[in-house]
A and B are shown apart, each in its own frame.
Chain A
């Protein structure tokens, strides 16, 4: 049996698995946002950054190799992760108390686990437009963290190409595939996987507001 070492634990892996895959299988999860089992590894959020044989790397993209020494829960890496989470919070507009996703948001959950008490950095307060054009689906761009899970789901699962990431640097933005730039003019439907993979409250199904009471949600 081939194994890697994760924070001193010996963890088995099979060829083709990433460090993230085998850590999850062994119930030794590494914090992550843009990763979702079954989707092409992407590596953009960097939350799963670990130190492998002395070098930083994202666990979700790194193929496991026999004898790898992987550090994850060290002070250094915790500081990095806290910094990354804070960056995600200040970059967008995240008002958790009034967000429908509050309680089942993976960003909020990760921040809680990392012991994040304040955003630390100066908030950017970006001006991003909401797309409420579609009768069933809402895009609240204020909360998008550019993880491209919706892009991957639409392309790889739904067989469509509804979403894309555009722009660059801080001007990076989520776009939808229509000439008007509006969701209503795309071929999306509310059953699409792309509508349901968003780790934050950026893509929401309309009319579901507060269906599950706060306090009873996934991570409450």
Chain B
């Protein structure tokens, strides 16, 4: 998996450039920024209206948060229950420790069913494990069926959002892609006409390709059922017409009971697309004779998730229901769009999820791709305290870095070690203050401000001024005041 085309974003965290570097081409692309800002404004306005009308929104968030936390605390139990109920209903459950194993299980199943083509419902999990390029290399062609995913697949583009993955592409760009790849010279850029073109393009595929792959929004432990929410009906097509269905789901997707959907369905569509309910929700348990796929497989994917359970702060990450509200509200995402994150999971959730999926070996710049303003926490329907997780991950990144040999002589770390030395003893601190005051005189101008500092301090003063140090510290003033009083 090497990809080096400069204008193609690299959504593999192992090879992606660090965030500050990756944003540069985006910030210089006004068209892209306009497309992203427009899409986000529309979703945000709709979400705002529909959340405001829900008088029990905070109670729903509290319930959703507690439910998801409860699932994670009892994850093993619920996964086993799901497995036994799903199996009893005629499904087959497979367990994949990592991406490679999930891909291999998928391929083996496809081979068992002699599949050379497969239709797909939009799934983030499959993007996470980079399934499509793998299948392609093995001679199985995966056809995406969600409109946005078709745009990306035919246009050879990467997703930039987890709910509306092609939001960075505007209508004339879609027209160009469809006209070129579907051979429709006279296509206009009217979204209705473009949508119709996709409908026609896919209809035959739905009716003839007997194997499908999906993700899952919910696994229901009590029933062994799986739930998928969608808008277009491509999901229903894939869940109904083929003979074989392979569902790839992260192990955290489980809910204890059927009834829990009453919470999840009330918060998901409102948060994701600003609708009271998404047009279609499909639920099925195992195999139903005469209705839908008669071979049903679920692959439960770990891929780093079980490690995140260890500590409560990081564990929150797995409560996520992938609604994308956090990226829609994020002031950073709004400016950069999704590609700069170098992961299929962008935005605030991507900034905490991606490095952890990489066992903190890659994507270490992402926890810094945030102003810590807290907007993501405020909108998150399951109350993930994203800023708290970001800070925790930042500290892990720093701990990693400072142990690296090269960093021992890094000016920043030398400075921090010195600060540590000075700040941990009162007399060293006071001495430093006195010396600092003398030193500061050299750089303080007549107006009482420091306009530029030498050495790495210059980076700080590049964009801001510092007030000069006062002649007396508070501590000294307090001591002097006490003496006077006597």
B and A form one assembly:
no
Q: Which residues of A contact B (CB under 8 A)?
A: none
Q: Which residues of B contact A (CB under 8 A)?
A: none
